[in-house]
Structure 1
Amino acid sequence: MKIAVLALTAAGRSLARRISGQYPGQVDLYFKEGYSRSGREHTFESLPRLVENLFAAYEGLVFIMAAGIVVRVISPFIRHKAMDPAVVALDEGGNFSISLLSGHLGGANDLAREIAALIGAVPVITTATDVQGRPAMELVARKLGLAVEPFQNLKFINGVLVNGGKLGIFTDMPKPLLRERCAELFADGIEILPLAEYPTQRTYFNAAVVMTDGVLPFPASPPSLFLRPPTLHVGVGCRRGTSAGAILEAVEQACALSGRAPSSVKTLATAWLKSEEEGLLRAGEMLKVPVKTFPREALSGAIARFGLPVSKYVEEQIGVGAVCEPAALLAAGQGKLILGKQRYAGITVAIATDGCSWWA
């Protein structure tokens, strides 16, 4: 984790340098004007202006100062737990390492513990699931590499756990492997069931967690949280100048046709000619996935290998007879096509999946 350590006093400066000398990741130090040396040490005059500049630039912010100061200075910049950095407060004596913001998703709890171990401090963690020794579903998702959907159900799901409710987890992941990777799920009040039993068994629980890339045609009652594995490789062909919004809409429609969740998209794939296509690159950023491009030779090879249909018009224009289907299959490696070419306004989309189970 890339972190910034901010200090106001000479004692704080000394503690910040101790942390910097031991922390395994990148550390930048920010001291009140007049205290810095060189290298990764910087000075500042206004703490609020500094925090405004740093809040989105670092994965973690460590403040060596009173917790009240930290609360006041970060409050204007807090947006959402899925976006905010980890925030930890230390007293300048190095006695306590307090997780203040983004304890789970942002990693503040782990950062507070890590820094406490480095300097001999007491970690102060107040999130209910940690205090009670219960699993937090956002941490489970992060550990397994899954996306959380819908995010607004997360608080309710964790509330069921800390209040002694019954939670059903529906997944096709083999139980021994799930236990190996997430032993915390095998606890009182949690039952692990096959994914196929979600339609009939979900009502026996106060809440459900479902691990799948599929869009299930069932009412989400009781409240359900879907953890989406990154399994979909979406091949895209588009006209020059196509907007990111139009591409995203086409991808969403194609996912709906295939019965898969857009949040399970792993890559966007296209032809080499689109390596600088602004709308496509922006769509990848919005989906938080890479955009892979493939040269003419690779696309032609995939067309021949998989026996894909070609368009003479496309071949005349770019020298290869298809884009979205071969690009999707190339991105998937040993995968398979689950949705052939779909045409939208100036856009073509195809979807392939990995050739193995998502947990492999």
Structure 2
Amino acid sequence: MNISLICFTKAGAAMCVRLMEGLSKSGDVCEGFGSEESGLLPMNASLKEWTREQFDKKEGIVFIGATGIAVRAIAPYLKGKDKDPAIVVLDDLGRFSISLLSGHLGGANELATRAAALSGGQAVITTATDNHGKFAVDLFAKEQGLFITRLEKIKEISASLLKGEEVGLFSDFPVEGNLPEGLLKDVSTTPSIYISVKKHPGEERVDSLLLVPKIVVLGIGCRKGVPFETIKSAVEQVLMDWNINKESIAACASIDIKKEEPGICEFASHYGISFVTYPAEVLSKAKGEFTSSSFVKQVTGVDNVCERAAIVCAEEMGGGKLFIKKQPCQGVTVAAAIRDWKVKI
């Protein structure tokens, strides 16, 4: 985790250094701000401006001081539980380590617990599911790498579990492990949880919290110079036609002669996914039945780019299968493979 720490007293500076040393040993990247004589970075701005800057670039912020200072500092910059960094507050003696914001999705509960272990103090965790030992769907989604489509449903599911009610779990993928108390597999309840790559889950699951795994690999082929807008439009048309949620896309792939194709590179950057390419000889060894084109083979050295690239990339990610064959759209060819994946409880 990329963490900024800030302190306001001499005792706080000592605690800041102690936390930085311990967190760094765990692999966290830490920056401490406070008095220069303590070896910390100077805060060359108001606390308000400093906090704004940290919100934009850090995964976690630790305030060592009064909780009120932290609350007033962060208040103008709160965006949402899926966007805010983890906020933790410790008193300058380290007696209490408070998870203040983004306990589950941001990781503040875990960070507060680790900080308490380093300070010798008490972690203060106030999320109800943790304190009552109930299943936390947002923490589960984070651990599984699932995109949450309707954040408001998290409250409904947590409230049901806290009341002792049961919540149905539906999945388009195998579920491995024992379900926690309160979850029932394939039993219709309101609300319920549905794990799928579908954009629209259908009438039966319309009220479910939809969790989307990033397991779809796109294969893309195009003529030289096809603009980003055309590639984006073509991909999104295919996704719509096949009812695939764009949040399920893990990567896109093509042949190596497209390695620096501006439109595909910009598409990958826009979606925040990796773009991998393979030489024709690697693509030609892909196993399966592919849509063959003599023209494509004449130009690239292999009879199909998009399908083969998608399946080769999925195989590198642990295995998969082609589930959308070559789709010509606006001068772009799009195919998709889906990784072999299971839900692990």
- The 2-side partners of 1:272 and 1:36 are apart by 52
Residues 140-289 of structure 1: pairs in structure 2 closer than 5 A: 140-171=140-171, 177-179=176-178, 185-187=179-181, 189-193=182-186, 201-202=187-188, 205-214=189-198, 218-219=202-203, 223-289=207-273
Give the equivalent residue in structure 2 for 1:128: 128
Which one-letter code corresponds to 2:32 in the other structure? Answer: Y
Residue 14 of structure 2 contacts residue 38 of structure 2 at CA under 8 Å; is this kept in 1? no
CA contact (8 A) 1:208 1:222 kept: no
Q: Which moved more, 1:313-322 or 1:99-108?
A: 313-322
1:98–1:124 CA contact under 8 A, matched in 2: yes
Asked if residue 322 in structure 1 is aligned to residue 315 in structure 2, the reply is: no
Q: Distance in 2 between matches of 1:209 and 1:159?
A: 14
- The match for 1:182 is none
Gap runs ≥5 in structure 1: 180-184, 194-200
CA deviations 1:69-123 (Å, max 9, x no partner) are 1112122222222122111011111111111111110100111011111111111
CA distance in 1, matches of 2:206, 2:217: 31
Cα contact 2:218–2:334 (8 A) shared by 1: yes
Specify the code of the residue in structure 1 equivalent to 2:288: F
Q: 2:324 is matched with which residue?
A: 339
Task: Give the total of aligned pairs.
Answer: 338
What is the distance in 1 between the residues matched to 2:327 and 2:172? 29
Q: What is residue 28 of structure 2 aligned with on the other side?
A: 26
Gaps of 5+ in 2: none
Q: CA 1:318–1:221 in structure 2 vs 1: closer, same or farther (change >3 Å)?
A: closer
Instruction: Check whether the contact 1:33–1:45 (CA below 8 A) recurs between aligned residues.
Output: no
1:155-178 Cα shifts (integer Å, max 9, x gaps): 332233234443111236666x33
Q: Is the 8 A contact 1:5 1:27 kept in 2?
A: no
CA deviations over 1:295-348 (Å, ceiling 9, x no partner): 22212333xx53533434434444444321110111121432211111111321
Cα drift, residue 33 of structure 1: 5.0
Q: Distance in 1 between matches of 2:77 and 2:113?
A: 24
The one-letter amino acid of 1:335's match is G
What TM-score do the two structures reach when normalised by structure 2? 0.87
**Is residue 2:274 matched to residue 1:290?**
yes
Question: What is the SS of the residue equivalent to 2:36?
Answer: coil
Change (3 A) 1:92 1:17: same
Per mean C-alpha deviation after superposition, the further-off stretch among 328-337 and 101-110 is: 328-337
Partner of 1:79: 79
Report the Cα distance in structure 2 between the residues aligned to 1:174 and 1:275, rounded to whole angstroms: 35
Asked if the contact 1:166–1:206 (Cα under 8 Å) also holds between the matched residues in 2, the reply is no
Once the two structures are TM-superposed, the CA of residue 10 in structure 1 deviates from its matched residue by 1.4
TM-score (norm 1): 0.83
